[in-house]
Amino acid sequence: MQVSVETLGNLERRMTFRLPAERIDTQVGGRLKEMARTARIKGFRPGKVPTKVIEQRYGDQVRQEILDGMLRESFDGAIRENELRLAGAPRIEPSTDAAGEGELAFVATFEIVPDFGDLDVANLEVVRHTSDVEDADIDRMIDNLRMQRQGWNRVERAAKENDLVTMENFSEVDGTRRPPEGAEKGSTVVGSGAMLKEIEAAVVGMSPGEEKTVQVDFPADWRIPEFAGKTVSITAKVLEVSEPVLPEVDAAFIRSFGVKSGEPEQFRAEIRSNLARELKGALMQRLRKEVGEQLAAKYASVEMPPRLVENEARALANGMAEQARRQGQQVAVDQTQFMEPARKRVLVALLVGEIARRNELRLDQRRLNETMRLIASTYEDPEQVIELYRNDPQLMAGLQSRVMEEQVIDWIAERATHTEQALSFQDAIRQ
């Protein structure tokens, strides 16, 4: 295979390489013959399907698969031979100009990892946060679970904070009533902030059947144009008041969360385990951020691969746009505002990879299995989730990348100048 490498910029390279067409044809022919021996096609006996029929049906697909495999193999070999370290995925395209007789030529454009010089992490100053799950944290979680299952009992008294109030209301502005007839009906929990603060303040102390009118000053950008920037008279009538009723933490309540024994101690033990898993993830996220900021500051002057940074900025912009879309919003996202965060993310990712390479750090299989089992434990059938990871190369590759990054972050933090800072569980998980 003939290979030539050109320098297009400080970190951009162009590689031209050629593949013999005969080699591709030979591999395609061999694959089609193998398929012919086992293929089942209607109208032909197994193993008796003519090669021409196989070629018509599967030829293009097989040729593309063979070509893709040879391209990857040839490109990877050329990268190793030229001692280049790739930053991001290459763009490989056919090149008819460079092809000779009996050859297929391709041009790969790619970026390389910059030279970071000396990578000494000992002078980084890292704060490593620590925390534990306390009994009070378990009590707080049980209270939250009770709140999720709370019911409502109708009462004949004045409404107060945390009550569920059903009411109807109508508005008047500039002499016009909304709605023209009748009233709008709805329910809300007092103190939840779902109502305008003036209405919520008026509802407190009102009993079923009681009616009250309040004056509300609406902001100029209010979503209802008729009310925007105006003082509106709103009349509210309480129809029903209900107080919250929390379930008892009995065997039935405990079993509803998957603890078959219904025993309080086992329930608390499982909650502790879940909170510990959440805490571990939160502490690692804090450490990742802490180490990342230190690395980004120390190597801020190193030039980054521009296309890789642009791709990362585009991904960040698309992520924000998608999040807005899910919330029912249409937001015009400017990719340029993500260039600096993208540059820092690329810088840290390349540094982590380079530190792992120079120090010959290898993926810890035990840590990988522990992480996989930790993830699987949050599902009803953990073994099924583990099997899913083991049978899905893309899913497993993502997990391996995550675990390897955490290993390197830990390795850096252990060798850096670090101090420990204890946090409460609530503070630790608050990002």
CATH number at residue 224: 3.10.50.40
Q: What is the pLDDT of residues 226-282, one digit of tens each?
A: 898 999 999 999 999 999 999 999 999 999 998 999 999 999 999 999 999 999 999
The residue-averaged pLDDT of 299-327 equals 90
Do 6 and 90 belong to one domain?
A: yes
Do 80 and 18 belong to one domain?
A: yes
Residue 71 in this model has a pLDDT that exceeds 90: no
The residue-averaged pLDDT of 76-90 equals 90
Last residue of a domain, one of 210, 245, 280: 245
Do 290 and 419 belong to one domain?
A: yes
Domain containing 236 equals 151-245
> What confidence score (pLDDT) does residue 116 get?
92
**DSSP class of residue 248?**
P
Do 398 and 423 belong to one domain?
A: yes
Q: Is residue 144 part of a domain?
A: no
Percentage of the chain modeled with pLDDT above 90? 62
Residue 99 in this model has a pLDDT that exceeds 60: no
CATH number at residue 42: 3.30.70.1050
Q: In the Cβ-directed half-sphere of 379, how many Cα atoms lie within 13 Å?
A: 13
Q: Assign 3-state DSSP to the chain and report helix, strand, coil percentages, each to 5.
A: 50, 20, 30
> What confidence score (pLDDT) does residue 299 get?
93
The residue-averaged pLDDT of 380-397 equals 92
Residue 177 in this model has a pLDDT that exceeds 70: yes
> What confidence score (pLDDT) does residue 61 get?
87
The residue-averaged pLDDT of 47-66 equals 82
Q: Is residue 401 part of a domain?
A: yes
Confidence label for 101 from pLDDT (cuts 50, 70 and 90): low
Do 290 and 391 belong to one domain?
A: yes
Contact 421, 129 (CB under 8 A): yes
Confidence label for 98 from pLDDT (cuts 50, 70 and 90): low
Mean pLDDT of the chain: 90
Do 52 and 168 belong to one domain?
A: no
Q: Which of 167, 232, 165 is nearest to 192 (CA)?
A: 165
Q: Is residue 255 part of a domain?
A: no
Residues 242/243/244/246 CA torsion (nearest 10 deg): -120
Q: Is residue 117 part of a domain?
A: no
Last residue of a domain, one of 216, 245, 274: 245
Do 217 and 309 belong to one domain?
A: no
Do 344 and 396 belong to one domain?
A: yes
List, as one string, the DSSP characters of 148-213: HT-EEEEESS---TT-EEEEEEEEEETTEEESSSS-EEEEEETTSS-S-HHHHHHHTTPPTT-EEE
Q: Is residue 422 part of a domain?
A: yes
Do 222 and 318 belong to one domain?
A: no
Distance (Å, whole) CA 237 – CA 37: 81
Last residue of a domain, one of 187, 211, 245: 245
Do 131 and 80 belong to one domain?
A: no
Q: What is the pLDDT of residues 317-371, one digit of tens each?
A: 988 888 888 877 777 778 889 999 999 999 999 999 999 999 999 999 999 999 9
> What confidence score (pLDDT) does residue 300 get?
93
Of 65-69, 348-352, 376-380, which has the strongest mean pLDDT?
Answer: 348-352
CB-based burial label for 347 (10 Å; 0-12, 13-18, 19+): buried
Do 411 and 312 belong to one domain?
A: yes
| DSSP β-bridge partners for residue 112 | 86
Do 215 and 310 belong to one domain?
A: no
The residue-averaged pLDDT of 145-151 equals 92
Please give the tally of structural domains in the chain.
Answer: 3
Q: What is the pLDDT of residues 103-137, one digit of tens each?
A: 788 899 999 999 999 898 998 999 999 999 999 99
Residue 89 in this model has a pLDDT that exceeds 60: yes
Q: Is residue 118 part of a domain?
A: no
Contact 141, 271 (CB under 8 A): yes
Q: What is the pLDDT of residues 27-49, one digit of tens each?
A: 888 888 887 777 777 777 777 77
Q: Which residue has the tokens 């933090």?
A: 413
Residue, of 45 and 309, whose pLDDT is higher: 309
Q: Is residue 140 part of a domain?
A: no
Q: Is residue 253 part of a domain?
A: no
